[in-house]
Chains A and B, each alone.
Chain A
């Protein structure tokens, strides 16, 4: 206990979706315990939602998380349609699924890039972010904005996807397939990445069940949990696709699951495009005149796991209660299993492996010696430490 030191990671730290404070309790190089504090990003969204009309809430829930800006409206739309008891037209279902899967693609690319950066592979970072650009362009062509698409409304979608856009999407999907092969090859065939990520941050199937983890974090440990498969919504039961799982539960398995999920997303989008061509154009919504009194739940599979929305209505034009549960919130708890017992240089990638929506590359972490108060590591040094380890492994493999 005498040499136990605390490394605070955050609160303004790029690893997390929200500004959060992680405290790594270390003895020597080994992380012995981890604690976290949240609340730096609290915006009072559930309360704000009660002051908005049902249609306005879409624009609010879209801004819960910029990367999952389809998943939250998706879950909220499912929820409101359960209360209003409407069935949306098939064309709207396909458009919803296309937007949802495009989002998954760009989110997984973002993760691969940043994971590469933390391992010292800046080329992977630059590549992945470059190949992500055509997807954002497609969003701009379809919805008019690169992020926050505002495509959803109760009873359908706001904008149609026309034939010209369908052709462009097909072209982009063909491009992305090749780039995905390249990225998958870069990760799967590299002995250094294997050495850095295999056996690191392991979560067993029992662990993910105990912590109720969701999404790729759970699927990488062999738990086949996917809302698109378990409780199909939109067009996910009208197309052919597979749930990707892996058994190992380490960082490598999580990367593998995400990269292979990209192929499934492309498969879903291409099938949806085929079916979209057979549907009459313009049939994108059913008019919903009023929302009756009642309660409803809706969920959707975000790139990070299950998003859950609960709404209670009283017949007026705004929600009485709106409860939201986002996937990162439950996944963050698994750090307690995955980081403890690791070295400090592996803790970076273990924290990143859950993909807690981290979004920037700069960091503000400082490590202080417990007794003398002397600074040991700052954020950049932590990244350098991780990159140095990769360099050393590279030398042993003589690459």
Chain B
């Protein structure tokens, strides 16, 4: 294991991209940062800029207006960046996949490294997903 991946394992910085989501996933992401689940003890932190991010967490379905902006954010992120599809909408489009503004599931727009399904995923599922992602590093 190189020093780079060793450090990465201990401090995953997450940029959260909320697509056309319903907020459920977004509040559950915040929830795992607060005292009961507290993922900050594993070095995981939400940050404000995609340029500093190790993980791009995408929640919500992607509509036509979001798509170019998602690509821009993905291109801005320093590589390697892990893309995590969060929630049913992030994974497949969910209930909104039949909508007239839907611009294709996330994995057809950017390469996805991990999927966390659920509507919304429970905090325990989020922790399990993160653990699996860390193990692949």
Contacts and interface: CB of A to CB of B under 8 A. Distances in A.
Contacts of B120: 66, 146-148
Nearest to A48: B99
Interface in A336-392: 357, 359-364, 378-380
A360 B30 contact: yes
Nearest to A59: B95
B23 A42 contact: no
A362 B27 contact: no
A12 B21 CA distance: 12
A67 interface: yes
B98 A51 contact: yes
B66 interface: yes
Given A43-B20, A48-B98, A66-B120, A361 B30 contact: yes
A363 B26 CA distance: 13
Given A12-B17, A110-B27, A362 B101 contact: no
A125 B30 CA distance: 11
A63 interface: yes
Interface residues of A, number: 44
B100 to A, nearest CB: 4
B101 A42 contact: yes
A313 to B, nearest CB: 21
A299 B116 CA distance: 34
B26 A12 contact: no
Given A43-B96, A66-B23, A148-B119, A364 B66 contact: no
A42 B27 contact: no
Interface residues on B, range: 35 or more
A69 B24 CA distance: 9
Nearest to B30: A360
A113 B31 CA distance: 11
A362 B15 contact: yes
A130 interface: yes
B24 A63 contact: yes
Given A66-B25, A147-B120, A380 B20 contact: no
A11 interface: yes
Most chain-B CB neighbours within 10 Å: which of A12, A129, A148? Answer: A12
Contact of B23 (A12, A129, A359, A379): A359
A44 interface: yes
B112 interface: no
A126 interface: yes
A360 B32 CA distance: 12
A41 interface: yes
Given A41-B20, A129-B34, A362-B47, 16 more contacts: A40-B63, A47-B99, A48-B98, A48-B99, A51-B98, A59-B95, A64-B22, A65-B23, A66-B24, A66-B120, A67-B23, A146-B120, A146-B122, A360-B30, A362-B15, A362-B16
Interface of B: 15-31, 33-36, 46-50, 60-61, 63, 65-66, 69, 73, 94-96, 98-102, 119-120, 122
Top-7 shortest CB links A-B: A66-B24, A129-B34, A66-B23, A359-B26, A44-B99, A130-B35, A63-B22
